[in-house]
Each structure stands twice: as C-alpha cells, then as structure tokens.
Amino acid sequence: MDSTLTKLMRDFPILDQKVNDERLVYLDNAATAQRPNQVIKALTHFYQTDNANVHRGVHTLAERATADYEDARRKVQKFINAPEPEEVIFTKGCTDGLNLVASTYGEANIKKGDEIVISIMEHHSNLIPWQQLAIRKGATLKYIHLTDDGELDLDEAKTLITDKTKIVAVAHASNVLGTVNPIKQLAQIAHQHGAIFVGDGAQAVPHMPVDVQDLDVDFYAFSGHKMMGPTGIGILYGKRELLEAMPPYQYGGEMIGFVHQQESTWAELPYKFEAGTQNIAGAVGLGAAVDYLNAIGMSAVQAHEQQLVNYLLPKLEAIDGVQVYGPQDPAKHTGVIAFNLENLHPHDVATALDMEGVAVRAGHHCAQPLMEYLGLTATARASLYLYNTQADADRLLVAIQETKEFFNHGSRETK
C-alpha cells in the first residue's frame, strides 16, 4: 500500500487544494469519503453515453443502462460475498435499508411482549427504527452496554438475548468509538434463540473485508458514499427466504408483477423492494467504487488504516488534556477516533483545526444515547481512510497542540 500511496492520492482531485492557506487534511471520512477520478468518470460516462431508465425499454440506451445497473448489483454481491445478486437490494443508503427491515420484517413479525436488542453505541439510523417499532407494537427495546474499555459487553449480550428476543441489531463498527463488534458471535446467539440479526455495516464495508455468509447475518445494510461511491445510493443484503416472505416497502412502478383494478401482485426479488426509478447513476458509481477498492484489496486497505491508527492513537493519548474514547488498544480500534480537549468545546476544537486545514467532525455524531451513557454532550472526531498518510496524522497532532496552546494562552491573558 505504501508504495502506491502517492499514485493513489492523485486519484482524488479534491484533496489537492488548500483550506485557509494550508494543505487540506481530510479526516472526516466516517461522515463521507471522497471520490476518486474513476468514480467521477464512471458517472460522467453514464450520463454522456448510457443514460436511460432501466428494465422498461427495448431500445439500445435502455438496454445499456439496464446492463450497467445490474452489473453494479453483481459487483456488490461479490464484494460482500452474498450468495446471489437477487439478495442485493439498492436503497438510498444505510438508513433507508435499516428502515426497510424495520417497516417490513419488523412490522410483520413483532408483537406485544416481544423484545428487540441493540447496543448503546448505535447510530440513530440503527436505533430509532427499532425504538419506534417497539413503541408501535408494545415490544421492549433493550440495550447492550460497554465494558470499561469501550467494547461491547458480550457477557451482558448473552443475558439480554433470550427466547423473547425477535430482532438483534448491532453496528459492525462504531461511528464514534471505533469499536469493531463481534457480530458473528452475536448472530449465532440470536439464532440460538430464534431471533434474526441485522448488521449496520456503514463503518465496516469501506474499511475491512466483509463476508455476509461467514458472518451469517440475516440482513446487512451500508451506504455507498462512505466507500467512495455517490451519495443517495446504498445496499441492503437480506437472506432470500426472509426477503421473499416480507411485504413490499413502497408501492408504485417497477415493483409490481401485475396490477388489476382491485388487487396487485409483486415482482420477484430484488425488484419487489425497488419501487420507482432508482438512482441508476448512483448504482453505476457504486460499482466503480467497488472496482477501485477491489484493485487495492480490502485487506490492504484495512492494514494501511491499522498502521495509521497504531501510529496516531498513542501519540494522541499522550497529549496532556486530550481524552480519547473507545478501546485504548490500537489493534481493537478502527480509523474512527473520538476525542475531547480539556476545557474546550468540540466545536471550538474543530473550528481551530479547520484554520490549520485539518477537517474533523464535532458533535454527537448521531449517537446521542451513547453520549448520554458516556456523560458527554459531544466530541471531536478524526476518521481515517485509505488516502490518509502519516503526514496527515502528524498535521492533526500539531494542530491539536497549537489549538491547546492558543486557547491556554488566551485564557491566561484574560485573567
């Protein structure tokens, strides 16, 4: 990876700019990743040469567009090792996929007295759909908490998941703590009690190899824009037998078999869940992103990010006044690193870092129950990706030190 890093960075034109007269260091990848030229060109090519609606036409452009769209589905299928392309559903994003499961499988299968188990570290996208489902159905929502080291408490999970549990839904990797959760084990526990397991893969699929068959998840959702694809496109993987038994999520064109005046039948998988004109160009762009990641290799992506975490995390923790959240062992940490600087609001920290050209995120990161659990209102968050370098990590460290010194000096002058 190191030998190709310089060449790889040239694929990302947005990174070749200055922000506040400083070279841009983009460390907000957990929110959205940047797009390489190859993805941008794939989108442009589609709109310039192949743009048409899919599945509904016999003319040349329609056939080309349909081929592009279905080719992207097959690329994603192989990327996550789904058994068949019909189990890969295009959605608007991870949030849309999780809502689809809650609104279809959940609505049909959850009843009063049932239990749903999630973790306290969930993004709102994998929390509110289950919370609202539980409210509607009179079910109980339970939370798996954390160990002192910021990892999911697997022992507690084993006690919370019982024969009353119908759904277990947990993020593969936390968007705040950088914790990688043992979802394969959680899926096994869920299945032992007759429950299904839903995985939120938004922070995992872009950063590590994912094999849905090995994990034995029942559903698994993720977003294209976090893996260098376009916004507005995502994936829901589901096991065929579950998808076939579920009612449609939305109604309209494309998802029908035949429509009579008083009744209708539904299309086969995956089209039953793809009502209306889909984000065709987005799917094409996502396919190009998969090609790009495959050319590098997901094991290489993961190894590169781990090398950066091994370098950055101990140095960040060594800065006086910095509090880092999540596992302290770099080997248990993804490239998502949440931190606070003593006596400074995270928004002030992020603004100061931006003045140095370093882009990080600040806020509750759509994980307010986790913030409440940790006794926080917000954190700053730096998140790494394959185009980040050790020089980027050094820039972050220097910018944090300079921010600390600036505010400390200012506070002394006002006394």
Assess whether pLDDT exceeds 50 at residue 415: no
Q: Measured between alpha carbons, how far is 82 from 237 in angstroms, rounded to an integer?
A: 7
Q: Measured between alpha carbons, how far is 217 from 112 in angstroms, rounded to an integer?
A: 25
Q: Measured between alpha carbons, how far is 161 from 153 in angstroms, rounded to an integer?
A: 12
Q: How confident is the model at residue 414 (pLDDT cuts 50, 70, 90)?
A: very low
Give domain 40-295's CATH architecture: 3-Layer(aba) Sandwich (3.40)
Mean pLDDT of 392-398: 98
Q: What is the pLDDT of residues 270-315, one digit of tens each?
A: 999 999 999 999 999 999 999 999 999 999 999 999 999 999 999 9
DSSP per residue, 37-71: HHHHHHHHHIIIII-S-SSS--SHHHHHHHHHHHH
What percentage of the chain exceeds 90 in pLDDT? 93
Q: What is the pLDDT of residue 252?
A: 94
Assess whether pLDDT exceeds 70 at residue 410: no
Q: Which is it for strands 256-259 and 264-266: parallel, antiparallel or unpaired?
A: antiparallel
Q: How confident is the model at residue 356 (pLDDT cuts 50, 70, 90)?
A: very high
Q: Where are the domains of the chain?
A: 2-31+298-413, 40-295
Within 10 angstroms of residue 117's Cβ, the number of other Cβ atoms is 27
Assess whether pLDDT exceeds 70 at residue 3: no
153 in Cβ contact with 144 (< 8 Å): yes
The structure tokens listed for 172 are: 């593969």
Residue of 102, 88, 154, 150 whose CA lies nearest to 130: 102
User: Can you give the three-state secondary structure of 221-283, one letter per residue?
Assistant: EEECHHHCCCCCCEEEEECHHHHHHCCCCCCCCCCEEEECCCCEEECCCCHHHCCCCCCHHHH
**How does DSSP classify residue 216?**
T
Assess whether pLDDT exceeds 70 at residue 6: no
Q: What is the pLDDT of residues 68-122, one digit of tens each?
A: 999 999 999 999 999 999 999 999 999 999 999 999 999 999 999 999 999 999 9
Q: What is the pLDDT of residues 172-203, one digit of tens each?
A: 999 999 999 999 999 999 999 999 999 999 99
91 in Cβ contact with 223 (< 8 Å): no
On average, the pLDDT of the chain sits at 95
Q: Residue 260: which residues within 8 A CB-CB, separation 6 or more?
A: none
Q: Which CATH number fits domain 2-31+298-413: 3.90.1150.10, 3.40.630.30, 3.10.180.10, 3.40.50.300?
A: 3.90.1150.10
Mean pLDDT of 393-414: 82
Q: What is the pLDDT of residue 291?
A: 98
Q: State the sign of the Cα–Cα–Cα–Cα dihedral 242, 247, 253, 258.
A: positive
Cis-peptide into 369, omega within 30 deg: no
Q: What is the pLDDT of residue 407?
A: 86
Is 94 a catalytic site residue? no
Helix H or strand E encompassing 303: helix 298-317
Q: Picking from 9-13, 354-358, 405-409, which range would have the lowest pLDDT averaged per residue? A: 405-409
Q: Which of 8, 300, 366, 376 is catalytic?
A: 366
Q: What is the pLDDT of residue 137?
A: 98
Q: Residue 159: which residues within 8 A CB-CB, separation 6 or more?
A: none
Q: What is the pLDDT of residue 5?
A: 65
Q: What is the pLDDT of residues 229-240, one digit of tens each?
A: 999 999 999 999
Q: What is the pLDDT of residues 23-44, one digit of tens each?
A: 999 999 999 999 999 999 999 9
